Structure 1
């Protein structure tokens, strides 16, 4: 049983799409903090890691297929450091929210999760919509600002502010967002 989960969202991307170059540049900036957050979560027994990735319209794709496709994409250096380890949950999604048409809510309920740390890409899209759906399901939401990538900087900044104001999300640096470093009642770490 865990009371916190780190959701690594859409990091297995082949970067063969519109805005891919701009996104890849921003992902490169968050890669270090996100990798450190992932490693810290692996070492922390009260934090589960759940990978949730878009299936890019391929409903036959397994998590392994999605990761392999990303490794063969234009920026494998942005994929390799975050590869899932055995035993981690990997869910595929079909739209922006990690909850839409996935078993995530059921999994989190079974794990006893109360707090979600949302990291990955894209701040103004999948992170924002996932935060809203998490908030609607009464999860505490934490966004490590240095571990989410945007396409448009202004929209990314606005999305972070919307999550903070409208969804009571705690916007913190990745080094301060795991439960032991940031108690649930802290306004900001």
Structure 2
């Protein structure tokens, strides 16, 4: 039987971009869920994979992206969910966690067939990532209280689309069970 991986999307962020002011309240609301998922996944030996925008910083090491975010004005949103020494980190260029990244290969190497998605932005990167996972025949769970949005109405529609069109399981963080 293949296993699970917790995928943390775009949480290492400087929030120095368009729509950041609209996004910040939702990120604050999603933080407790993301933190709870990280703690439980780590405790159960489930792989944690951060897949993060590079913000135009094409570097092979995640440390520079993390350091930049931690030095910014919203470090309080990054520090509680920062990768630990066991976390895996993949840099992405665009919306989907799969687009031009080695994630599919890594998941095969880890024998993972079930992705638990958290992070941002629900109506963009999370939605596109769920679709790309679905077309790769991976099971997807989206944690509704651990994803942040810019536009609440679009996020609600995106969650519904993921559930209906992509067979995604939409759950709260408290309802996620990890098996390592």
TM-score (norm 2): 0.96
Aligned pairs for 1:21-170 (under 5 A) are 21-45=21-45, 47-60=46-59, 62-170=61-169
Query: Moved runs in structure 1, 4+ residues, more than 6 A?
Result: none
Q: Using the TM superposition, give the Cα deviation of residue 171 of structure 1 relative to its aligned residue in structure 2, in angstroms.
A: 0.3
Specify every segment of 5 or more residues in structure 2 that has no aligned partner in the other structure, as ranges. none
Q: Secondary structure at the match of 1:117?
A: strand
Taking CA–CA contacts closer than 8 Å with sequence separation of 6 or more, which of the two structures ends up with the larger relative contact order? Answer: 2
What is the distance in 1 between the residues matched to 2:119 and 2:78?
11
Cα deviation, 1:93-119, whole Å, max 9, x if unaligned, reads: 000000011110000001000100010
What is the distance in 1 between the residues matched to 2:36 and 2:23?
20
How large is the RMSD of aligned CA atoms in angstroms?
1.3
TM-score (norm 1): 0.91
**Compared with structure 1, are the counterparts of its residues 88 and 70 closer, same or farther at alpha carbon in structure 2 (3 Å cutoff)?**
same
Map of 2:13 onto structure 1: 13
What is the distance in 1 between the residues matched to 2:96 and 2:72?
23
Q: Secondary structure at the match of 2:150?
A: coil
Q: Are the equivalent residues in 2 in contact too, given 1:2–1:48 (CA < 8 A)?
A: no
Specify every segment of 5 or more residues in structure 1 that has no aligned partner in the other structure, as ranges. 181-189
Q: Using the TM superposition, give the Cα deviation of residue 62 of structure 1 relative to its aligned residue in structure 2, in angstroms.
A: 2.2
Q: Using the TM superposition, give the Cα deviation of residue 2 of structure 1 relative to its aligned residue in structure 2, in angstroms.
A: 5.9
Cα deviation, 1:4-27, whole Å, max 9, x if unaligned, reads: 000000001101111111111110
Q: Secondary structure at the match of 1:146?
A: strand
Q: Are the equivalent residues in 2 in contact too, given 1:55–1:61 (CA < 8 A)?
A: no
Cα deviation, 1:48-99, whole Å, max 9, x if unaligned, reads: 1001100012213521111111111221100000111112110000000000
What is the distance in 1 between the residues matched to 2:160 and 2:112?
24
Q: Secondary structure at the match of 1:114?
A: strand
Q: Secondary structure at the match of 1:18?
A: coil
